[in-house]
Structure 1
Amino acid sequence: MLENANYIYLDGTFSVVPELYFQLYTIHVTYLNHILPAVYVLLPGKYLVAYLFFKLSYRCVCIFLGKKQCLYKEMLQEIKNLAPNFDPPNVMIDFECGSMKAIRNLFPTSNLYGCFFHLCQNIYRSATRFGLKTLYGENESFAQQIRCLPALAFLSITNVIPTFDEIKAQFPVEGEPVLTYFEENYIGVKSRLSRPRKIPKFDILLWNVNTNTLQGQHRTNNVVEGWNNRFSSLMNCSHPNFWKFLKGLKKEQSFVDAQIIQADAGARQARRREQTRRETRILNLLNGPTTTNFEKVMALAQNISLKS
């Protein structure tokens, strides 16, 4: 399942792990239009992984704490040792630089996508950090201008920077710290003397979702966030002891195995009605020939939430 997946989704969760550990890092994969967990990794620190393996089922592997320290690259290498043909064509991840670098080094031909949900969260957190949370919540016009920044991700890559310049020209003064944050990290600051923009921390190719949206692919790893929430409910406490955690993980894997059987039988994962409606609105806006890119972004911003 892991070796044959066209898309994989990486994410971590924290409160469900036993006290000795830092986070549970999971790799979910596409399987017959379902997204299911294939690997569970217990990390004792943000950059540490383990070398002891426990087989949860013939489909999934759990990796536990060992004594050797290594980075994300070594974690992925150990997984690759277990699944030699593991070479994912497409990888969805949050904007964590260490894991991104590891994926690029180990899987240089993979297409790497930043999760759109995390992009929105990062922008909202920057607004909060600059003291704009109240203004964002009370002034819809201001909030729409802020949401225009992640909405740029829906445009074709060649249209992102010209449209950003249009947004910047009329952006509210109060929001300039957020605008600067976005430009530095996701666009690249314009150099003087007509030189090219500086390279941003996160390339436009990473966070652009135009192709995935038009092709009906996922823009986020929210399905993994949903799994995190479900597993947290299964644990029903923060930082359970190791044996309770292991028992819960085995129980969860039994549920996943049942989902695999359903997928093999032709079952499909249904989207919520509101999600389907929003997707239709977004596609209508992207395919509409009569509006400018700036107008598209303003309209797309109405279909985006930065907080959920």
Structure 2
Amino acid sequence: MSRHIGCYFHYTQSIHRKIQTLGLSTVYKDDEEARFICQQLMALALLPLNKVEPAFQALADNHPESLDELFEYFETFWMKTTSIDLWNVFDLKTRTNNNAEGYHNRFSHRIDKRHPSMWHFIRVLQEEEEVHLNQHVQHVRMGKKKVQDGGGLDVRPASVLMNNSCGGGGGGGGGGGYSSRNLIIPLTILKSC
């Protein structure tokens, strides 16, 4: 079962934006106690799920009056409207989606067309897969990753498999033992990177 969660970075940015919208930037900058309480609000996402509500209540009971509107917003939006398990990142190895956003941004730039042809898209996918496979090999060589058992399947890059099994030139002219199962494994590896 998968769990849908938000991004810790975007969660904290949202709270920062609300601080600005409410005209609390000066309070945040100049009042050390208020800033510390705002940071504690942001840190609620790092607590175990069952500790979030009691911790919020403790903060709500002891915050400076200057933060009343911020606490009303936080309680209404983050505690009541948005399910806590959507923004709680306790025990998660990856707490932001910055890596996914970076990947999609880079991939979009590599496509470099608003409506690419299928062949252009496949070529960019193959190039991207080669890059990730080379990075994986480098990490294995450097001892950062262990080689995983491929279950006896051919996990060479999809472009190599297609070229070798489709007549050599990648032109798709018959022959060879091209197997969709052998092609899907490298694409799965690419998807998981």
Structure 2 length normalisation: TM-score? Answer: 0.59
Residues 242, 155 of structure 1: alpha-carbon distance in 2 compared, 3 angstrom cutoff: closer
- The Cα shift of 1:242 comes to 3.0
Selected match of 2:47 from 144, 155, 168: 155
Residues 123, 261 of structure 1: alpha-carbon distance in 2 compared, 3 angstrom cutoff: same
Q: Distance in 1 between matches of 2:73 and 2:137?
A: 46
Query: Match for residue 226 of structure 1?
Result: 102
Q: Superposition RMSD on alpha carbons, in Å?
A: 3.1
Report which of the two structures shows the higher radius of gyration computed on alpha carbons. 2
- The Cα shift of 1:218 comes to 0.3
Q: Distance in 2 between matches of 1:145 and 1:249?
A: 50
Structure with larger RCO (C-alpha < 8 A, sep 6+): 1
1:134 lines up with 2:26 in the alignment: yes
Q: Distance in 2 between matches of 1:124 and 1:131?
A: 11
- The Cα shift of 1:241 comes to 6.1
Residue identity matched to 2:87: W
The aligned length equals 139
- The Cα shift of 1:149 comes to 0.9
- The Cα shift of 1:260 comes to 2.6
Q: Give the % identical residues.
A: 30
1:27-68 deviation per Cα after TM superposition (whole angstroms, max 9, x unaligned): xxxxxxxxxxxxxxxxxxxxxxxxxxxxxxxxxxxxxxxxxx
- The Cα shift of 1:203 comes to 1.2
1:206 lines up with 2:86 in the alignment: yes
- The Cα shift of 1:220 comes to 0.9
Helix, strand or coil at the partner of 1:211: coil
Q: Which runs of 5+ in 1 are unaligned?
A: 1-108, 188-199, 270-308
Helix, strand or coil at the partner of 2:5: strand
Residues 251, 161 of structure 1: alpha-carbon distance in 2 compared, 3 angstrom cutoff: same
Query: Match for residue 127 of structure 2?
Result: 254
Q: Distance in 2 between matches of 1:226 and 1:150?
A: 23
Task: Give every structure 1 segment of 4 or more consecutive aligned residues whose post-TM-superposition deviation is greater than 4 Å.
Answer: 228-232, 246-253
Residue identity matched to 1:222: N
- The Cα shift of 1:224 comes to 2.2
Map of 1:278-293 to 2, 5 A cutoff? none
Q: Distance in 1 between matches of 2:61 and 2:107?
A: 46
Q: Distance in 2 between matches of 1:131 and 1:117?
A: 21
Residues 223, 249 of structure 1: alpha-carbon distance in 2 compared, 3 angstrom cutoff: farther
Q: Distance in 2 between matches of 1:148 and 1:228?
A: 32
Q: Distance in 1 between matches of 2:90 and 2:136?
A: 28
- The Cα shift of 1:249 comes to 10
Residues 218, 127 of structure 1: alpha-carbon distance in 2 compared, 3 angstrom cutoff: same
- The Cα shift of 1:169 comes to 1.3
- The Cα shift of 1:159 comes to 1.4
Residue identity matched to 1:219: R
Query: Match for residue 146 of structure 1?
Result: 38
Q: Distance in 2 between matches of 1:142 and 1:258?
A: 47
Q: Distance in 2 between matches of 1:117 and 1:133?
A: 19
1:170 lines up with 2:62 in the alignment: yes
Q: Distance in 2 between matches of 1:113 and 1:149?
A: 18
Query: Match for residue 5 of structure 2?
Result: 113
